Amino acid sequence: MSGVLWTILGIGLFAIGLLFSIWFHELGHFMWARRFGMRVPQFMVGFGPTLWSRQRGDTEHGIKAIPLGGYIRIVGMIPPAKSDGQPREYGRLRRMIEEVRGAALDDIEPGDENRVFYKKPWWQRVIVMSAGPVHNLVLAFVFFTIILVGFGIPATTPSLTVDLVSECVLPAGSPVKDCTTPIDSDGQTCGVGENGCDLPPPSPAAEGGLRAGDKILSVDGHEVSTFKAVQDIIRVNAGAELGFVVERDSGTEALAITPIRNLAYIDDEGTIDEVGFIGVQPLFPREQQSITEVPAAVGGFLANAAQALLNLPERIPSVFGAAFLGDERGQNDPIGVVGVSRLSGEYFALPEPVSDKIVFFLGLLASVNMVLFLFNLVPIYPLDGGHVAGALYEKARSVWARVRNKPDPGPFDIARLMPVAYVVAGFFVLLSGMLLIADIVNPITLN
């Protein structure tokens, strides 16, 4: 399959996975709302114009044109206003709140008196609004389990099997990432015709016929048992022809490779030295993990994702600069749906094993679902966490009233938070737009 088709497949699979994650999130809300007897008129994936819908029982299920979210509409999310029977003059803000309340109450039909959201016990409302994010957490857990238990994680020690043979030799630390850009002796970009400026030299490994998948058996007549032993021989033999014996296609091949002098990383601390170099990367075999390792791995990723979410405000200036000022895009900057789709397409186009593509894809979906879990539980209206916070506040207020021998204040009027909802929604629309622009004009890439 060509690189273009792999790219399209990667983008398409991520889009399908994202839509499934959104649907599964809304399914959590829907299942528990129906279980507790609430009426749900709509279950939609996406926003904007409806592309397809079908009526099933009380609920219209459908797909909308903009696949950036989803929703279910539960009857009676906003309670009616308390009235003392006296006419009131409302200001502009209050009128806006009452208009939203009126629109919500218009959904209530005869027979819905005991099926409205606000009349249900506080704990049922907490479960309904928490179920969506919890479904995302469940998906992330499933994806991580498949990765860790089914495929495994790369070992810390490389094998003797060749994973990648470089086409050319680039000095360590060089900003150049391809074999078609002229460089000087330090690996810096230069102009054709300048003294010492030339295309990167072909790698000795490629010229000598070494291939991905070869298993190195011996070097210079010495049997080797670790890749470090291979490196040690290569590094001290720059300019000397070395005999390699490799296992290939159930047989053996003898190759002659002459290392060249090159700046290379010689340890895990990033130390650079001029040593013999052939341009080969070993395979780190995957080691399947026990299922008991999954909770700790998910917990660690959850902590990192939560920290990234907390750091979001301080990264916004960087994203703004990348989107509108031409600044360099930070690798730790937040990334939007378009950017993640691009990464999925880029990775699928790489000459990696299909198993690695699947692991990368599942890892992306696990990350997205983890972010959806954390983001939706932020206790700000209109997010799910805002509804949960409102129900918990209502219960705390009821308990406090009972302790003081006061009447129960009744349902918390979440419509009063509508101005906050508009501000929050406006902020996320602006952030999404800024991420979209940054992902198009200044994207984060695998390089």
- Reduced to 3 states, what is the DSSP secondary structure of residue 105? helix
- Reduced to 3 states, what is the DSSP secondary structure of residue 366? helix
Other CB atoms within a 10 A radius of the CB of residue 41 amount to: 14
Give backbone dihedrals phi and psi of 413, rounded to 5 degrees, phi first. -80, 90
Which has the closest alpha carbon to 253: 292, 301, 220, 209? 209
Q: What is the dihedral of CA 73, 79, 85, 87, to 10 degrees?
A: -60
The CA-CA-CA angle for residues 199, 205, 208, to 5°, reads 105
Give backbone dihedrals phi and psi of 382, rounded to 5 degrees, phi first. -100, 15
Contact 217, 245 (CB under 8 A): yes
Contact 81, 412 (CB under 8 A): no
Structure tokens at 71: 């929703």
26, 167, 194, 394: the catalytic one is: 26
Strands of 22-86 (E only): list them.
Answer: 42-56, 59-73
Q: Give the whole-angstrom CA distance, residue 340 versus residue 239.
A: 44
Question: Which amino acid belongs to residue 282?
Answer: P
Contact 75, 117 (CB under 8 A): yes
Give the distance from CA 94 to its chain's centroid: 40
Note if 26 is an active site residue. Answer: yes
Q: Active-site positions?
A: 26
